[in-house]
Chains A and B, each alone.
Chain A
Amino acid sequence: MADPMRIRANVVGDSTEVKVLMNHEMETGQRKDAQGKTVPAWFIQSVTATHNGKTVLSAQWGPAVAKNPFLSFRFKGGAKGEKVQITWTDNRGDKRTDEATIS
């Protein structure tokens, strides 16, 4: 199981700013190890962010997103104390969901 994400959600004006730091190797499948064998690709393919059950952002990623990906975005609405949920799925089918409280 992957390590937890670090999520920060803050109210900025009339919108909520979300910053996410995910823990993931994001292996491209281009690299070779010491024996010259290709390291298989292992990366996050899709990310979904929801707020009150409504999707506020969904993304599809390729292997060129940097290791331990960072993502930031803003959506309208959201109040202090409400929760934002982030879910990612990688190409091995591994999944992780974390949530943060808007502050």
Chain B
Amino acid sequence: MNARRRNLLQAGSGMTLLSVLAAAGWLQPNTALAADAWNAAAFETKSMDDTMKALGGGTPVQSKAITFVQTPDIAENGAVVPIGITSTIPNTESIAILIEKNPNTLTAIFDIPPGTEPSISTRVKMGQSSNVYALVKADGKYYVAAKEIKVTLGGCGG
């Protein structure tokens, strides 16, 4: 009983110390924010559903307004697969690339501020042939489009 009480007290005082430090600016809120900005929980997910949960969204709606551009049907080298995604959904806030059969599903999230066209392209690694999802967040809702890319030579695990 007593031991538990001690622990609780300690935990409590620890919290206060932290907040005091933060208030004093010792914790450098900027660096703390930068570390938080990388959504570790979402990047560690291993399935589409888990990723959606980690991003805080429900089941995304299939949308034809999201298109893949300059994306091959068959990638000869899984280590370098070009992916381009364009969304014509109004108020697109972010575009994410998810690869279903990679060790971790979520590959990249791009935040699109107003004034930037909701169209990005990059290159990703794919371990094996898989569905690639383009997940678009617009007005707080999630939309998705899928494309199957066949990989003839794996890019993960070498």
* Residues of chain A having any CB pair with chain B under 8 Å: 15, 26, 28, 30-31, 45-46, 54-67, 69-77, 89
The 9 closest A-B pairs by CB, nearest first: A66-B123, A75-B116, A64-B107, A74-B117, A62-B43, A45-B38, A59-B110, A58-B111, A60-B109
B108 in the interface, Cβ–Cβ < 8 Å?
Answer: yes
* Neighbouring B residues of A63 by C-beta, 8 Å: 104
**How far is A57 from B113 in the complex, measured between Cα atoms in Å?**
6
Q: Which of B9-17, B18-26, B140-148, B150-158 contacts A (4 or more CB under 8 A)?
A: B150-158
Sample 18 A-B pairs with CB under 8 A, ordered by A number.
A30-B103, A30-B156, A46-B38, A56-B115, A58-B110, A60-B39, A60-B111, A61-B108, A62-B104, A62-B106, A65-B108, A66-B81, A66-B155, A71-B120, A71-B121, A73-B110, A73-B120, A89-B34
* Neighbouring B residues of A67 by C-beta, 8 Å: 79-80, 125
* CB pair A60 B108 closer than 8 Å: yes
* Neighbouring B residues of A71 by C-beta, 8 Å: 120-122
* Neighbouring A residues of B106 by C-beta, 8 Å: 62
The tally of residues in B whose CB lies under 8 Å from a CB in A reads 37
Within 8 A of A (CB), among B92-142: 99, 102-104, 106-113, 115-117, 119-126
* CB pair B111 A59 closer than 8 Å: yes
Extra contacts besides A30-B103, A67-B79 (18): CB < 8 Å: A45-B38, A54-B115, A57-B113, A58-B111, A59-B111, A60-B38, A62-B43, A64-B108, A64-B156, A65-B107, A66-B79, A66-B81, A72-B84, A72-B121, A73-B110, A73-B120, A73-B121, A74-B117
B3 in the interface, Cβ–Cβ < 8 Å?
Answer: no
With A60-B39, A63-B104 as known contacts, state yes or no: A72 contacts B122, CB within 8 Å.
Answer: yes
* CB pair B109 A59 closer than 8 Å: yes
With A28-B156, A30-B157, A59-B110 as known contacts, state yes or no: A64 contacts B124, CB within 8 Å.
Answer: yes
